């Protein structure tokens, strides 16, 4: 008997702006770069503005456009719902999609509150029993150099971890005349630099170390308190999120962690950096040189010690089997193709994806503890994710 061809995987995406464009790039390219157990088909994209979403569908390669996310979920040709909207709609869309029998990919942070994230996890657990997959989109896990860093830590190459330092710095909010966009409103975004940038580096710390944060102490600041309204620049509205966050913490092993997230670091456009120091070695990563990882092997004699540059472009490096000959670097957009690759495999193989909604909830609890710590000027313990029923 000839082996049957697996059915295609119909993808429907809600949201089509910056992150929607990045996800579209991932879905367009993943099947061309990797051999997949199911073929993704870009069935439909959804947005409230009919003209704009139709233009986005044509530009990014979606077969159809919808103006109601409920209609997108109801489509028979949509098996997976990809959520690229502001955080205030994540829970409602994700839970509805899961209850409708769809797989779900939801952009980070998972939700705007711990309660919303808990409800999403509960829905995901119920859906998992029916064979559905729910994943949160922390794309930086899929940068090959960071995947290699995780492998080196897991293999014990750093020994006992002592320090974990992560920074994510941008400067797009520096201009006080910049409008009060949705990212600067708590009711839409949940938080500011903390949730937008801090969520990424908190997730990376948990991913790279394989540990939980057991305590945090934080300070947050809003530098510009009011901004012009987008539809009427002659009037201003209150900025209700943070512009910057500075956090100290401790991992379960006792290692010290520090985090900095800011939209006011002049000259920094998308500067994410990581440094891990252990008893046997250290790792350094800089997103502005995302094809490189610096590694110091402290077990070598002092006459040979020092950081060495690993060019992460070899076929044996994570995800590189699908791309170019050694030395031909990848970019930001490839992380979304890698994310799509891993999700398609999880769906086809019936395995739990990483990061799961539980992982997203873990980050959400840390974000909440950071905000509370800053408000109370206290050291707080994030509540761990409840064990699976």
Encode pLDDT of 45-62 as tens digits: 999 999 999 999 999 999
pLDDT in tens, 321-376: 999 999 999 999 999 999 999 999 999 999 999 999 999 999 999 999 999 999 99
CA 13 to chain centre: 16
Is residue 2 predicted with pLDDT exceeding 70?
no
Whether 386 shows a pLDDT value over 60: the answer reads no
pLDDT tens figures, 272-310: 999 999 999 999 999 999 999 999 999 999 999 899 999
pLDDT score at 389 = 47
DSSP assignment of 169-236: E--TT--TTS---GGG-HHHHSSSHIIIIIHHHHHHHHHHH---EEEEEEEEE-S--EEEETTEEEEE
Per residue in 4-17, pLDDT (tens digit) is 789 999 999 999 99
pTM: 0.95
Judged by DSSP in three states, 297 sits in: strand
CB-based contacts of 170, cutoff 8 Å, min separation 6: 193, 197, 262, 263, 265, 268, 269, 270, 271
Confidence bin at 378 (pLDDT 50/70/90): confident
Q: Name the band, by pLDDT with cuts 50, 70 and 90, for residue 170.
A: very high
Domains of the chain: 9-139 (3.40.50.720), 144-289+291-330 (3.30.360.10)
Q: Is the pLDDT reported for residue 388 higher than 70?
A: no
The string of pLDDT tens digits covering residues 190-222 is 999 999 999 999 999 999 999 999 999 999 999
Mean pLDDT of 19-43: 98
Cα separations (Å) of 319 from 38, 210, 316, 323, 330?
18, 20, 8, 8, 10
Average pLDDT, the chain: 96
H or E element in which residue 337 lies: helix 334-349
């Amino acid at each position: 008997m000839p082996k049957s061809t697996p059915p295609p995987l119909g993808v429907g995406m809600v949201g089509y702006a910056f992150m929607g464009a990045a996800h579209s790039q991932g879905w367009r390219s993943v099947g061309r770069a990797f051999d997949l157990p199911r073929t993704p088909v870009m069935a439909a994209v959804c947005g409230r503005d009919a003209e704009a979403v139709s233009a986005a569908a044509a530009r990014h390669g979606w077969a159809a456009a919808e103006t109601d996310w409920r209609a997108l979920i109801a489509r028979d040709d949509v098996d997976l719902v990809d959520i690229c909207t502001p955080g205030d709609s994540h829970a409602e869309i994700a839970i509805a999609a899961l209850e409708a029998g769809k797989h779900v990919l939801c952009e980070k942070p998972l939700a705007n509150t711990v309660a919303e994230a808990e409800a999403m996890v509960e829905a995901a657990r119920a859906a998992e029993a029916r064979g559905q997959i729910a994943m949160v989109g922390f794309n930086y896990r899929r940068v090959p150099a960071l995947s290699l860093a995780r492998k080196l830590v897991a293999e014990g190459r750093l020994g006992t971890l002592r320090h974990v330092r992560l920074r994510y710095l941008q400067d797009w909010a520096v201009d006080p005349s910049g409008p009060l966009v949705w990212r600067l409103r708590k009711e839409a975004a949940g938080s500011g630099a903390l949730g937008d940038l801090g969520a990424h580096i908190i997730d990376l710390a948990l991913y790279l170390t394989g540990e939980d944060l057991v305590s945090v102490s934080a300070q947050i600041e809003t530098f510009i308190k009011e901004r012009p309204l987008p539809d009427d620049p002659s009037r201003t509205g209150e900025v209700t999120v943070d512009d910057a966050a500075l956090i100290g913490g401790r991992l379960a092993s006792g290692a010290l962690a520090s985090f900095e997230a800011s939209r006011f670091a002049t000259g920094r456009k998308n500067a994410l950096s990581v440094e891990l120091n252990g008893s046997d070695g250290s790792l350094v990563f800089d997103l502005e040189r995302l094809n490189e990882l610096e590694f110091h092997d402290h077990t070598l004699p002092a006459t040979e010690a020092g950081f060495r540059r690993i060019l992460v472009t070899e076929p044996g490096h994570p995800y590189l089997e699908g791309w170019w000959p050694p030395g031909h670097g990848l970019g930001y957009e490839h992380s979304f193709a890698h994310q799509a690759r891993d999700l398609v495999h999880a769906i086809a193989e019936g395995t739990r994806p990483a990061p799961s909604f539980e992982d997203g909830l873990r980050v959400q609890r840390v974000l909440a503890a950071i905000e509370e710590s800053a408000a109370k000027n206290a050291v707080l313990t994030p509540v761990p994710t409840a064990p699976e029923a």
